[in-house]
Amino acid sequence: MNNLKENLDNVRARIAAACSAAGRQPGEVVLLAVSKKHTAGKIRDLHALGQRSFGENYVQEALAKQAQLQGLDIEWHFIGPLQSNKTREAAGHFDWVQSADREKIVRRLSAQRPAELPALNICIEVNIDREPQKSGVLPEDTAALAHLVQELPRIHLRGLMAIPRMADDDHDPGDGYRRMRQLYGALLEEGIEMDTLSMGMSADLESAIAHGSTMVRVGTDLLGPRPAAGTL
C-alpha cells in the first residue's frame, strides 16, 4: 500500500507540474489507472487511496475483477481492441469504451447497452500515425464515425483516444499529439460535441498534456510491473 501511495502521489505531481507548465489546471486532466494484468486486490488498495477510474484491456479479465469489487464506486473504462463478439459484455459492464474504431462496433454497443444503465461513454480511437499493426480509425474517417456515434441511442460521444507512435531517433510522439489536438479542434468546429482527448501514458504524459490531453492512461508507474500470468 505504501508503494502504491508513493506511486500515486508521484504521478499526480507529474500531472500537476505538466499542467502548470502548459498553463492549465490539474483538474483538467483525469488520471486513468491501467490495471490490466493486476489483481483485484491491488485495484481495491488504489481505490482506497482515492483513485476511481480504471482501464482494462481484456473483457473477460475485467469481468472477473468487477465481480470481486462489487460495491466500490469504480468508473470502468475499456481501452483494448474490442471484437464484435465481446460488445455485449462491454456494453453491459463498462462506463466507457475508449477503443471504438468502426461502424459495426458502435452500432452493436448502442443496440446492446442495457436500457436501465446511463448512456455508454464513447471515445473514438484514432490511428493518428497510420500504423498497420494498430487499431483505430484513420484521421480522415473520424468525423463520419463521430457523427454516427452522436446519432445513435444509449451511447454518448465523449471524445478521441490515440496511442501515437513511440519515440525513436526519427520520430517525436509530440508530433502525433499535436495532430490529434488539431483533429479534435477541427471536429469541434464542425459542431461535434466532445470534452475528452485521451492520450499520454507513463513515459510521455507531459508531452500529451502540453498538447491538450484531458485524460492520461498510466499503468506501470502507478501499479508497478505487471504480475506473471495466472496470478489474478
DSSP string, 160-203: EEE-PPPPBTTB-HHHHHHHHHHHHHHHHHTT----EEE---TT
What's the pLDDT at 24? 97
CATH architecture assignment, domain 2-222: Alpha-Beta Barrel (3.20)
Q: Which residue has the cell 499535436?
A: 178
Nearest to 45 by CA among 15, 74, 14: 74
What's the pLDDT at 162? 96
| DSSP structural state of residue 32 | E
Residue 122 bridge partners (DSSP): 97, 157
What is the per-residue pLDDT across 44-102, written as a single tens digit (0 to 9) for each?
Answer: 999 999 999 999 999 999 999 999 999 999 999 999 999 999 999 999 999 999 999 99
Pairwise CA distance, residues 161 & 14, whole Å: 21
Contact 203, 197 (CB under 8 A): no
70: burial class by Cβ within 10 Å (0-12, 13-18, 19+)?
A: exposed
Q: Which residue has the cell 476511481?
A: 52
Coil vs helix vs strand at 150 = helix
Pairwise CA distance, residues 64 & 209, whole Å: 33
List the domain boundaries for the chain: 2-222
Q: Which amino acid is at 56?
A: E
pLDDT averaged per 10 residues in sequence order, the chain, 232 residues: 92 98 97 97 97 98 98 98 97 98 98 98 96 93 98 98 77 83 98 97 94 97 79 53
Query: The pTM is what?
Result: 0.94
